[in-house]
Structure 1
């Protein structure tokens, strides 16, 4: 599976992870988000741009406001990507447990 590398860039910054945490509680304007940080409004905008590129957030334009929200699809892509590693790990654990059971039976 090909992975959108922008997702890893998005998660690499603590401010962006915090923005995602805020947005999981509902939609917010850029101004609302800015008030939660000790960084400039332009820095918040740059972080939002990275999150948009990663497809983790979406934006709605209403009158003079831009309202940001989490995009479920972006997280599903990430979950699917990470799941392939988890599934492999579970398969190995299952094989080890089965081998251990066979050894006990002997």
Structure 2
């Protein structure tokens, strides 16, 4: 297999989050939390892991009179996701149809 799985992205919630972020420029933390159906603390841990890897950018801005957290997938994050998905597709190509 030419492409390798990315252990940072591979966790189901992080993979789902990266796929969600790949489809948009920026999304607020609450929207991601609701989509993944996880607590704020669980999502925060996943965001921190992706941020430390350089895959996600976190920004804060006031909106409707309160501070909101925004997430976006970085260029390295998009590249890592593309490589990870290619590895998954290569693995799936070896699975016989049933």
> Larger C-alpha radius of gyration, 1 or 2?
1
**Structure with the larger strand share:** 2
Q: Which residue of 1 aligns with 2:53?
A: 54
**Structure with the larger helix share:** 1
The structure with higher relative contact order (CA 8 Å, sep 6+) is: 2
What RMSD, in angstroms, separates the aligned Cα atoms of the two structures? Answer: 2.1
Contact 2:9–2:18 (CA under 8 A) maintained in structure 1: no
What TM-score does the superposition give when structure 2 sets the normalisation length? 0.64
Deviations 1:39-75, CA, capped at 9 Å, x for gaps:
2111011111111011111012112011110100344
Does residue 18 of the first structure (1) align with residue 16 of the second (2)? yes
What TM-score does the superposition give when structure 1 sets the normalisation length? 0.60
CA shift for structure 1 position 37: 1.6
Q: Which runs of at least 4 in structure 1 moved beyond 4 Å after TM superposition?
A: none
Q: Which residue of 2 aligns with 1:42?
A: 41
Structure 1 segments unaligned to the other structure (5+ residues): 1-6, 83-106
Does residue 8 of the first structure (1) align with residue 11 of the second (2)? no
State how far apart, in whole Å, the 1-side matches of 2:61 and 2:38 are: 24
Structure 2 segments unaligned to the other structure (5+ residues): 84-98
Count residues with an aligned counterpart.
73
